[in-house]
A and B are shown apart, each in its own frame.
Chain A
Amino acid sequence: MNSVEKEIHYLNHEKGFKSWFWTLDHKRLGLMYMWAVIAAFVLGGVFAMLVRMELMQPNSLEGGQFLSDQVGGLSAADRYNHFFTLHGAIMVFLVIIPGIPAALGNFALPMMLGAKDVAFPKLNRFSFHLWLTGALFFVGALLWKGLDTGWTFYAPYSTSHSDTSVIMATSGAFILGFSSIFTGLNFLVTIHKLRPEGMTWFRMPLFLWAIYATAVIQILATPVIGIALLMLSVERWLGIGLFDPALGGDPVLFEHLFWFYSHPAVYVMVLPAMGVVSELIANFSRKPIFGYRSIAMSSVAIAIFSFIVWGHHMYVAGQSEVVSVIFSALTFSVAVPSAIKVFNWVATLYKGSIRLNTPMWYALAVIWLFSIGGLTGLFLGTLGTDIHLHDTYFVVAHFHFVMVGSAIFAFIGGIYYWWPKMYGVMYNETYGRLGCFLSWFGFNLTFLPQFVAGTRGMPRRYFDYDPQFASYNMWSTIGAMVLMVGLVIGLFALVHSLIGQRRKAPANPWGASTLDWQCTSPPPPHNFDHAPSVDDPYDHDILRWDEQEQGFMPIDPVDGDPNLAKMGSARTAPATHS
């Protein structure tokens, strides 16, 4: 590398706050999303730790109550309710839903398509500004009167009883919803219109299939939560009876509207995570993904099924018995495509050449954690067992395995995977792996005991509990501390790579044959100098390890662009290598 000749890339081609805030570049927007989501994750994590510290010991024990009585006119129980509500609301609306699609999707999706940007760059910028506005509303609610409704905003507690900033928070969620809809719309159109020559639907990287299926859910389901939250605000503000029976409304109606969005939203969180894992498993095994079509189609199947299972949140909520039975049957249908994905990932490892870089560690952690999250879902989809388990710590543990164990772990894995592309530097593998291991270990220690606490009789959202649950809770809190240390190390490893002695990243450190790895690291402002053509996204034979480059290079590069591989019709001869 010639240090005299300064490289021009997307990070340094223009400078200053305005060049970032008003940028139309999908890569810069993706990066800003990523850091904003990480900041929200830290905030949500602080609330999680406050919750865990309070629950470490039962209050009946000497010194068992962590939160002090009466601060700012709020009792310890009230503040605990605020903390778990804010933890849930921030993590769901500000972190997990935008996490992979908005941050990693924005960064990688146009490059995976060989495109210069998304279809509607200004709409994309508007989405990000909406996210910031929504986040400001959340912070406003936090600083003003807080929020104690649970992230579910169930009426009539939220409309007629809570004395907190409900309308400000629902307005925030409403605005974030539009951010999500516009992002989904943008990606949907981009995938339809900007695929390069040769990239048929079944030659798209699986991450794109996952983002596509996610976008469909974002566009079709998010308006419903928007309307539901608007109705809730109208009832709270003007007293128009929609959900509160005291005003002539029906609280179960709100539950239906809420879960009509919020169940599909689970797949807004998990589908992109599955997309990331599919990329990681294939590339770090140097194998074509096993059962490409089943994985792609299972993403679409999950997206469709996700719309017709919401009633499984309401088996004991007072909905009709017949409806509950139908929803239970439909719920099991979503288990099959989820299982297919896991089996396909495992089969991809077979006869591969498996490299255990940090992103792969995270991908393997997801196989472990998602398997537990998915299998424990069976107990909750089954009518007979859900009666006992509903609204207990069993549910808390289950959805954390799915939403954190799968979505957040895949998100971090994805950040590590694309980090060399984002900043043009390599992180320290030892730190990265240590962070992953501690996070995985701490996560299991936090949430496995909660399954047993739940089955033995501990309800969720409890400020205090019977001393018989003391051991599960103490293990869980210790696990949360280990998890926190793991996450901090994970973040440290990334920041560490940016300061001091930087290790320059090659264009293609992982040997991935998707197009995002065929421009320089970091990419130039417009990604590609030559319009690429595409064949199989998992054909690793077109690349070979280059010792001097410390990365993978195309065997048969496009004339004038050493990083870009000739593929499809442009490829002259089948590559062979030793």
Chain B
Amino acid sequence: MISLVPLLSPFLQEQEGSYFFPVQASEFAADTDWLFHFILWVSVVSFVLVVGVTGWFIWRYRQAREPEPQPSATHSVKLELIWSIIPSIFLVIMFWEGFQVFVDHRNPPPSADRVDVIGSKWLWTFRYPNGAELPELHVIKDRPVRLVLQSKDVLHSVWIPAFRVKMDAVPGRYTQLWFTPTIANGPDEFFPLLCTEYCGTQHSSMNSKVVVHPNAASFQTWMNEATVDYDPDPEKWADNGALVYKNKGCQVCHSIDGTTAGKVGPSFKGVFGANRPLASGESVLADENYLLESIENPIAKVVANYAPAMAVNGGVSLSKEEKDYLVAFIKSLAD
């Protein structure tokens, strides 16, 4: 049953931000929005003029009222110059203002904090100055941040609508963008970060969270929690693996509860110790060697009904230990 309530929601709900935009959460946002509204009002006035005059002429010179056309000028250099030059002035202003905003976007201050952003099908990994690689982008209010983008496979693009910034992540080269966040998120709040360059099956779920901390202390607290050192005690390997599963983006394609809807790869539940039918028609016993091989060389033994879609190590960097932890984690999910 389709609910028609959403049709009314723009009129019923209080929306965040303005009519056209989400909240202005970076120093760029106000400039972008101002420029947008400037062009919008120039366009609205032009459109109303064109359509208004058209409507007036249609009514005034309709055949019922004017059975024959009246002689009038077939051209007018003066008129045509006027309606070429006046719009041109506005076009020059638009270009110039857009150029100014663009220059700001493309020139990060040298003091900006650097975070490396690694795109791969279909997750974002953020590498912080301390070397930590995490699936979320955490930044500090009023501190400029420079994101250096790279891609491991196909074209991706980072878009943070609340900051009005966007840049493609291009394999084979580095690109960058920067911003200064101006609004700190409350607890459990975040700004969405979205992939805007089509990248395949899970393109629309290749998103992440941007969390703006009110101060450096808050950021450090989060960082300390997020980067617990793994306990090498073999008893803890499965727990460590659960963290790897979450932080390295395994959960994008693999569930741990046996569900497959919306997932590109098979669930980890009940894999270990089972006989896995393969796409080649053979089958294989899922032991530890098979699990490790499937991480390091995923297309060697593809499970039946699945495409060979996974990149080596899932497209992220995994240490030897992290792979051991993952294997232990998957083992712990055996039926």
Contacts and interface: CB of A to CB of B under 8 A. Distances in A.
Nearest to B264: A75
B198 A150 contact: yes
A459 interface: yes
A368 B10 contact: no
Contacts of A78: 201
B171 A245 contact: yes
Contacts of B35: 382, 384-385
Interface string B123-160: 00000000000000000000000000000011101010
Contact of B192 (A249, A387, A457, A461): A457
Interface stretch (A436-444, A464-472, A488-496): A464-472
B247 interface: no
B58 interface: yes
A352 B54 contact: no
Interface in B40-65: 40, 42-43, 46-47, 50-51, 53-54, 57-58, 61-63
Given A252-B170, A383-B101, A388-B32, A157 B17 contact: no
Contact of B61 (A61, A349, A372, A378): A349
Contacts of B22: 456-457
A371 B50 contact: yes
A476 to B, nearest CB: 11
Interface in B195-254: 195-205
Given A336-B88, A371-B47, 7 more contacts: A157-B200, A163-B307, A339-B84, A346-B57, A352-B66, A354-B62, A461-B203
B19 to A, nearest CB: 7
B155 A379 contact: no
A353 interface: yes
B203 A463 contact: yes
Contacts of B32: 384-385, 387-388
16 contacts: A57-B3, A77-B201, A251-B171, A318-B173, A332-B92, A336-B84, A343-B50, A350-B61, A354-B57, A378-B91, A384-B35, A388-B165, A452-B20, A456-B22, A471-B7, A471-B10
A340 B53 CA distance: 15
B6 A470 contact: yes
Interface residues of A, number: 105
A159 to B, nearest CB: 10
A64 to B, nearest CB: 9
Interface stretch (A114-122, A323-331, A427-435): A323-331
A378 B68 contact: no
Nearest to A57: B2
A484 to B, nearest CB: 17
B171 A154 contact: no
A350 B201 CA distance: 54
Interface of B: 1-4, 6-10, 15, 17, 19-22, 31-32, 35-36, 39-40, 42-43, 46-47, 50-51, 53-54, 57-58, 61-63, 66-76, 79-80, 83-84, 87-88, 91-92, 94-95, 97-102, 105-106, 121, 153-155, 157, 159, 161-162, 164-168, 170-173, 175, 192, 194-205, 260-262, 264, 305, 307-308
Contact of A462 (B88, B165, B203): B203
Interface stretch (A281-289, A410-418, A557-565): A281-289
B265 to A, nearest CB: 11
B99 to A, nearest CB: 6
Nearest to A387: B166
B208 to A, nearest CB: 13
A376 interface: yes
- Which A-B residue pairs are the 6 nearest by beta carbons? A245-B172, A384-B101, A382-B98, A457-B161, A383-B102, A349-B57
A157 B157 CA distance: 14
Interface of A: 56-57, 59, 61, 63, 69, 73, 75-78, 81, 148, 150, 154, 156-157, 160-163, 244-246, 249-252, 285-294, 315-318, 321, 324-325, 328-329, 332, 335-336, 339-340, 342-344, 346-347, 349-356, 364, 367-368, 371-372, 375-376, 378-379, 381-388, 390-392, 452, 455-457, 459-466, 468, 470-472, 474-475, 478, 540
A339 B21 CA distance: 28
A24 B60 CA distance: 46
A313 to B, nearest CB: 11
Contacts of B155: 154, 156-157, 251
B75 A316 contact: no
A333 B1 CA distance: 50
A90 B60 CA distance: 42
B58 A354 contact: yes
Contacts of B7: 471, 474-475, 478
Interface of B is mostly: mixed
Given A77-B262, A245-B171, A461-B203, A342 B36 contact: no
Given A455-B20, A459-B159, A470 B74 contact: no
Contacts of B202: 77
Given A367-B51, A471-B9, A340 B84 contact: yes
A321 B50 contact: no
B283 to A, nearest CB: 18
Contact of A316 (B4, B53, B83, B168): B168
Given A157-B200, A290-B75, A332 B69 contact: no
Contacts of A350: 57, 61, 72
Contact of B170 (A160, A251, A325, A354): A251
A457 B88 CA distance: 30
Nearest to A61: B3
Given A340-B84, A388-B32, A465-B204, A375 B47 contact: yes
A353 B2 contact: no
A459 B205 contact: no
A381 B42 CA distance: 15
A382 B95 contact: yes
A408 to B, nearest CB: 20
Contact of B75 (A291, A342, A385): A291
Contacts of B39: 378-379, 382, 385
Contacts of A344: 80
A244 to B, nearest CB: 8
Contacts of A69: 260-262
B80 to A, nearest CB: 6
Nearest to A367: B54
A329 B66 contact: no
Nearest to A470: B6
A349 B7 CA distance: 38
Contacts of A317: 168, 170
Nearest to A321: B106
Given A77-B262, A371-B47, A379-B36, A355 B63 contact: yes
